Structure 1
């Protein structure tokens, strides 16, 4: 169920107005991708707090001036594969790149020059999904 600044999850109630706006925006995007409410809310909280910590003052000011999220906002037609929601996140090396991929996904979600970058991204994804990261050594790869 999408939300707006007048109707939002009770867990957003005591948030700073800017944090609440960002959390609603993220949660609505996740809902539009097919995440169930009980998964979208904690991910939105985590990601909005991270955004608030890392955003520049100008990014915060621009977002503050942006229109408030509406229940009717469209966030694209991309849908997640519900079967992959709980799967672990893999990090492996192939063709001189480090890849991040959800186990059993059709393709990697990201690729990086270094293992450290890939592991960092995999940990972010796994934390949101409440799954774990499985890291392979150079030369090893996940069974296909």
Structure 2
């Protein structure tokens, strides 16, 4: 069951709203990728706090403007149309390289599903760079535990 701002783990209740919302998003994505909930929540909380420390005020404000109702409507539309998932709302989002049960995956930030799965991390990074360069965004490479290893800037 995906968590939301109205239904989330008790361990997130004392976090500030943007950090809680980001932690929920990260937790849901990690659970979708096969992580155990008990492992995903603390990793997501740590990553959300790190994001909040490094995010600009505009980025946080923009993130908060996408409330749960909007997310639910978008998910419903994507679920109704399986061909969706790479819509225009993902064009300005970074590409993430994450561990996947079948290898290494490329996934746009905020996407419900991975776009590609590669056998090696190197292959996934190269593909993520291609996609990010086309979109004018960056690549965020993660370690197998979900933590950020490095960020790669790309040119448009």
Q: Is residue 143 of structure 2 the alignment partner of residue 125 of structure 1?
A: yes
| Structure number having the greater strand percentage | 2
Work out the CA distance in 2 between the residues paired with 1:82 and 1:107.
Answer: 10
For 1:59 and 1:82, the matched residues in 2 are separated by 32
Determine the C-alpha separation between the residues in 1 that align with 2:102 and 2:12: 25
**2:125 is equivalent to residue 110 of structure 1:** yes
**Pairwise CA RMSD of aligned residues?**
3.5
Q: TM-score, normalised by structure 1?
A: 0.53
Deviations 1:70-93 (A, max 9, x none): 5x94796x9931899xxxxxxxxx
Deviation at 1:9, TM superposition (A): 1.0
SS of match in other structure, 2:119:
coil
Q: Which runs of 5+ in 1 are unaligned?
A: 85-104, 112-120, 134-144
> Please, which runs of 5 or more residues in structure 2 have no aligned partner?
80-84, 86-97, 105-117, 127-139, 150-156
Mapped pair 1:21 → 2:21: yes
Classify 1:66/1:28 alpha carbon distance in 2 versus 1 (closer, same or farther; 3 Å): same
Q: What's the TM-score, normalizing by structure 2?
A: 0.50
Q: Which residue of 1 aligns with 2:11?
A: 11
Give secondary structure in 2 for the equivalent of 1:64: helix
Q: Which has the higher contact order (CA 8 A, sep 6+)?
A: 1
Q: Which has the higher helix share?
A: 2
Q: Which has the larger radius of gyration?
A: 1
